[in-house]
A and B are shown apart, each in its own frame.
With several copies, the nearest count.
Chain A
Amino acid sequence: MATVKEFRNNVRPNWCPGCGDFAVQAALQRALGNLNLEPENVAIVSGIGCSGRISGYVNAYGFHGVHGRSLPIAQGVKLANRDLTVIASGGDGDGFGIGMGHFMHAARRNMDMTYIVMDNQIYGLTKGQHSPTSAFGFKAKTTPAGNIENAISPLQIALAAGITYLAQGFSHDVNQLTELIQGGIEHKGFSLINVFSPCVTYNKVNTYEWYKQHVVHLEDFPDYNTADRSAAMAKVAETDGLCTGLVYHDDTRKPFDQLIQGYKPEPINAQNLTLEREMFDKVMEEFA
């Protein structure tokens, strides 16, 4: 059985020292190890950004796609081989900026996969422009006078899109993050783990310290019911999106991949591709 070690490779991440993404990588590797998955049965699809490099840093099948499109690629992978554990990941710009449409649709489509967003409220790789999660008033390269757009709340939009597993982590707490990712992978359906993953180079506002001061832990609310969608909505609004832990979980819905008409338990990529002569003739006859 594989352990966390098997998910490590020999590549030294090219993230800046202190970047929050290191912790995300570690948590993902731990989660995969804890679940006793084999590296060859895991596919990690990522977008473009500092965060997007993660697919190259875990020993597993990795696909570093184009900016904002990790989810469509990941869904294609899952369609072709539903035996795989499919992880999609990338940054806040990648996922909630250019990739926003795909995210909303992936959430409602509910394929069985896990999406990890490294949310640093900035565009890191392109050197510090504001992102869709940058707060109103935030100063970045592209908002020298302060951001005049309102930030997207990843948790709110995920709930509104009908997500079935929603969690939020923080790079400072790898243990919690590992658990949340693990839960997402175990969940049969689409899961989002949004991670506060500070960009130490370009975001001088939303630092580790800042998050530590602002974040509340959902575990601190013993009455909080993660199966109650309205409660989740309310809690997210109440905490201004700054809560970590499992936000919502609906395990009553079947994932897309099991609802497909003509669903066969064997994955598509394992099928014999030859069309039987009998069927060929039958289909052809329909045109006569």
Chain B
Amino acid sequence: MLQELSWKVGGQQGEGIDSTGKTFATSLNRMGYYIYSYRHFSSRIKGGHTNDRVRISTSQKGASADFLDILLAFDQETIDFNGHELRSGGIVIGDAKFSPVLPADIAQGVRLFSIPFTKLAEQSGAAIMKNMVALGATARVMGLEPTFCAPVLQSMFGRKSQKIVDQNLGAVQAGYDAMSAEGGDFPEFQLSPPVPDKHLLMIGNDAIGFGALAAGARVMPAYPITPASDVMEYLIKKLPLVGGVVLQTEDEIAALNMTIGAAYAGARALTATSGPGLSLMMEALGLAGMTETPVVIVDSQRGGPSTGLPTKHEQSDMFAVLFGNHGEIPKVVLAPSTPEECFYATIDAFNYAEQYQCPVILITDLALSLASQSVKPFDYDAVTIDRGRLATAEELAQTEQGQMFKRYERTQNGISPRSFPGQKGGIHHVTGVEHSEIGRPDEIAGNHTAMMDKRLGKLRNIELPNSVTYTGEANPDVLLVGVGSSAGPIGEAVARLNQEGLRIGHAHVKVLSPFPVKTLQSYLAKAKQVIVAESNGTGQLLQLMRLSGLMHAEMSSFLKYDGTPFLPNEIAAQVKGSMLAWQR
């Protein structure tokens, strides 16, 4: 019996590929399996190849599998594009309607089944249910009950009409039966029973939205953009329930400036964007830094530069996030690597923003933002809200008539008390111009130096907790360093390699600013060789390490920038290759 199985469904955009994958994944997640599901889609609405690759496993996985076991195809293109991913002995189930054939480059022993998806769907009530037929065929192969997706279908369509539910279930059954008619069982596709464990299935963006809700966010001005829009679309459903508001602005410039206004006035506020919007936010980002306004910005990276590859994975905006605004400001940049971490990092983001009174950027990548993953239920008690250094009633009362509140008081740690409009005794001025302790423009030479030190000092020589996670060998021959969603594939590769007897370590960076130099230094010191794996063309993480003074005699980049995330075996192969090269 298998511990995991890899399945893919493909067809044309707009054909319901998404919902097929979703029904499948959600059903298996409810059964207790762990899911990792990654969609391939393109920047058009209807037409064009799309697919959903679902990995079902008895333990948690953070990456797509290296190979496919089962491919469901709604057109020949799906087979032609994806067939090479099938392991030998895998199977293709295609809609008989397009008379599927296997291409030449297919692995040995791959079998093709032609099942009349569309026809059976029509017989069950409507052609659009061909997806259900396909799911039924899958169930048969995997040895699942034909009713495995009944609960999910019930919650999807139950409120609309029971008839639809029944029709769909009928279609599933029809697919199941048709596959049965092909004869034989498929013992090599049977999954071990799941560990009975409850988990949630969500994309990183959902976790961020939920995290923001839990953190007390109340205002979200934002502008739609792939792959960040989901955060806004999630919160637009939730914030009104708690008296908050999502506002779709005219552009990203307005979005961040409005976020600044709301945060200044006392609300917890966030915005979310991706590369092009991030570029447009640079001026406002500097304003937030200069005015010490606690805003949270979610940046979900996609393929760049420019409009780039809007629906593809990349990690090429780290430098823009860290260095893009003119002038120098303190900022916290959190880089979670799983939906679970997205949730907690979002809560941290709001707390850090108010504790350090500076912008916090939560950076994700497309794979993290959009891949559906099984995660442990979140811990209510782990959610804390710390609003940082707020002016107390006594302090406000002390402000003399006609005097301004020292919003930018130069304190030991650079953090000053905040007052909000509406508070008597808290009146002060705020400006992006260099200013005095009460916020008035002040161009005197000494003041600028002092205020620069105040602001930059807030994060100087600080390492935030859990800035790096480490797994694997403590004194490794090869240390892999990564950031973002690659925690999954790197972690898996490392576990595999260590099982093979190699000595490999894995340091995953979770905070890009303040950069955890000391911790990384300690790991680097123990490694013979270092490979920094990232999804971009210039090796930004490695450059960031070097810039921070982190050196290692044998440090190299492993870069992938074709728009797809790393697979575990790509990492493993690179490690092995470079161990060889190095030993030579």
Contact = CB atoms under 8 A, between A and B. Distances in A.
Chains A and B in contact, CB within 8 Å:
yes
B563 interface: no
Contact of A65 (B29, B45, B246, B257): B257
B244 A268 contact: yes
Nearest to A38: B424
Contacts of B429: 55-56, 62-64
Given A66-B432, A73-B260, A79 B245 contact: yes
A65 B432 contact: yes
Nearest to B291: A63
Interface string A100-129: 111001000000000000000001111101
Contact of B241 (A65, A77, A84, A279): A279
Interface in A252-285: 260-264, 266, 268-269, 271, 273-275, 277, 279-281, 283-284
A9 interface: yes
B378 A284 contact: yes
A235 B258 CA distance: 34
Contacts, number: 270
A182 interface: no
Contacts of B258: 72-73, 75-76, 79
B427 A268 contact: no
Contacts of A59: 402, 427
Interface string A186-208: 00000000000000011000000
A269 B233 CA distance: 22
B99 interface: no
Interface residues of B, number: 95
Nearest to B425: A40
A200 B575 CA distance: 50
A8 to B, nearest CB: 9
B214 interface: yes
B465 to A, nearest CB: 22
Interface in B215-249: 215-216, 218-219, 221, 223-226, 229, 232-233, 236-249
Contact of B224 (A66, A142, A144): A142
A79 B249 CA distance: 13
B206 interface: yes
A33 interface: no
A75 B219 CA distance: 11
B276 A273 contact: no
A67 interface: yes
B391 to A, nearest CB: 12
A145 B246 CA distance: 12
Contacts of A230: none
Contacts of B229: 126-127, 129
A1 interface: no
B259 interface: yes
B422 interface: yes
B431 to A, nearest CB: 4
Interface residues of A, number: 83
B232 A142 contact: yes
Given A65-B257, A72-B257, A105-B250, A273 B287 contact: no
Interface in A30-45: 38-43, 45
Contacts of A273: 215-216, 218, 268, 385
Contacts of A61: 421-422, 426-428
A124 B45 contact: yes
A79 B269 CA distance: 10
A72 B240 contact: no
Interface majority SS (helix, strand, loop, mixed), chain A: loop
B545 to A, nearest CB: 32
A81 B245 contact: no
A59 B14 CA distance: 28
Contacts of B380: 277, 280-281
B45 A50 contact: yes
B574 interface: no
Interface stretch (A10-18, A166-174, A219-227): A10-18
A266 B267 CA distance: 13
Contact of A102 (B14, B250, B440): B250
Given A63-B261, A142-B224, A262-B243, A40 B421 contact: yes
A69 B201 CA distance: 39
A142 B427 contact: no
Contact of B261 (A72, A124, A261, A288): A72
Given A72-B254, A102-B254, A268-B244, A64 B430 contact: yes
B261 A64 contact: no
A279 B202 CA distance: 18
A105 B385 CA distance: 34
A155 interface: no
Interface in B405-435: 420-433
B441 interface: yes
Contacts of A98: 223, 250-252
A260 B206 CA distance: 23
A72 B250 CA distance: 10
Nearest to B218: A268
A130 interface: yes
A129 B377 CA distance: 31
Given A62-B430, A123-B224, A126-B224, A288 B420 contact: no
Given A40-B421, A75-B258, A268 B245 contact: yes
Contact of A284 (B265, B269, B377, B385): B377
A40 B261 contact: no
Contacts of B33: none
B221 A77 contact: no
A214 B420 CA distance: 44
Interface in A42-101: 42-43, 45, 48, 50, 55-56, 59-69, 71-81, 83-84, 97-98, 100-101
Interface string B418-458: 00111111111111110000011100000000000000000
Nearest to B268: A273
A81 B266 contact: yes
Given A43-B421, A81-B266, A201-B45, A63 B254 contact: no
Nearest to B404: A9
A245 interface: no
B265 to A, nearest CB: 4
Interface in B74-102: none
Contacts of B439: 62
B251 A81 contact: no
Contacts of B383: 275, 280
B506 interface: no
B284 interface: yes
B583 interface: no
B375 to A, nearest CB: 8
A105 B254 contact: yes
Given A69-B284, A283-B210, A287-B206, 15 more contacts: A15-B45, A16-B46, A56-B431, A56-B440, A66-B283, A66-B432, A71-B254, A81-B265, A125-B43, A262-B242, A262-B244, A268-B262, A274-B385, A287-B210, A288-B201
16 contacts: A39-B427, A61-B421, A61-B428, A65-B260, A65-B431, A72-B221, A73-B261, A73-B264, A80-B218, A80-B267, A101-B254, A127-B45, A129-B224, A201-B45, A260-B245, A287-B200
Can you list the 3 inter-chain pairs with the closest CB atoms, starting with the nearest? A76-B261, A273-B216, A262-B240
